[in-house]
Amino acid sequence: MRELGINKCIIPTAGSAGVALAAYCARASVHCIVVMPAHTPDIFKKECELYQAEVVLVDGLISDCAKKVNEINASQSYFDISTLKEPYRLEGKKTMGYEIAEQMNWMLPDAIVYPAGGGTGLIAIWKSFQEMIRMGWISGSLPKMIAVQAQNCAPVYAAYNDPINWKNSFHPKPSIANGLVVPDPFGMDLIQKVIYESGGDVEVVSDQAIMGGIKDVAKAEGILLSPEGSATWKALATLVEKNAIKRSDTLLLLNTGSGDKDPEMLSML
């Protein structure tokens, strides 16, 4: 933004992206408006405020925040960082693909399980793999890209199973996995393309199972997963059952946050 001479930006967010943007904006002296659902855990709001972002709360889901962004930015004087409506966030999330390749010694796993909301991560990881192949950094077959969503809001799952009519029977609700609650992802076509091209799949997980998963992994591994990360773990049994992954596959699950960002949720475990 600094390079392009931009000094004002705005973002609708489920929380994490807003905090990240606010932090970078503090560093770059760019004014930032973060629009998030009012039910987002307080720590996300507080962090944004500490980074001097202006926080706007909306009663509703991220789709309602997107409408609010359009309202505030009717004159288009703010650079809009909505998911996939500008090219840079996707490029940034490609680093997940680089880190996976590098940390696995340039031999990718058979399947990657990603908690998908807006789908940027899934699309960006796939893009990084294609580019790394062209650059000769990796070779061989690429992983199956598997998206996991919250049962309360699973448009990618609905569209995968019924591409024509999914919107007719779709009623999104909040989930403890806030980052997965994106009722109408702008990048839906690209998300579906990645799943098809990679021979992947989509699965859904209930909030109750997600909470159980946080407990399982804390106990077994000493890792406090985010609800989104827990969803990938809890989806595994179903994915094996329906043969989307084989027991012999090497798997990589992405944990995209930390459970300690939502103390209220932790107190319910």
Ligand X SMILES: Cc1ncc(COP(=O)(O)O)c(C=O)c1O
Interface residue with ligand X among 9, 11, 16, 211 (CB under 6 A) is 16
Q: What strands, in cross-sheet order, belong to the sheet with 8-12?
A: 54-58, 31-37, 8-12, 79-80
Q: Least distance in Å: CB of 16 to ligand X?
A: 3
Strands 8-12 and 79-80, sheet pairing: parallel
Any idea which residue has 């009623």 for tokens? 171
Residue type, 30: V
Interface residue with ligand X among 119, 143, 155, 200 (CB under 6 A) is 119
Q: Least distance in Å: CB of 185 to ligand X?
A: 8
Interface residue with ligand X among 121, 172, 183, 213 (CB under 6 A) is 121
Q: Least distance in Å: CB of 86 to ligand X?
A: 14
Any idea which residue has 């999330």 for tokens? 93
Q: Which stretch binds ligand X (CB under 6 A): 8-16, 38-46, 159-167, 235-243?
A: 8-16
Q: Which of 103, 101, 112, 109 minimizes the C-alpha distance to 137?
A: 101
Closest residue to ligand X, judged by C-beta, is 179
Residue type, 26: A
Would you say 16 or 152 has its CB closer to ligand X? 16
**Crossing angle of helices 188-198 and 120-134, rounded to 10°:** 50
Query: What residues between 64 and 103 interact with ligand X by CB under 6 A?
Result: 83
Q: Is 228 in the site for ligand X (CB under 6 A)?
A: yes
Q: Which stretch binds ligand X (CB under 6 A): 9-17, 42-50, 135-143, 202-210?
A: 9-17
CA distance 114 to 97: 12
- What number of CA atoms fall less than 13 Å from residue 45's CA on the CB side? 12
Q: Which residues bind ligand X (CB under 6 A)?
A: 14-17, 83, 115-121, 179, 226, 228, 256-257
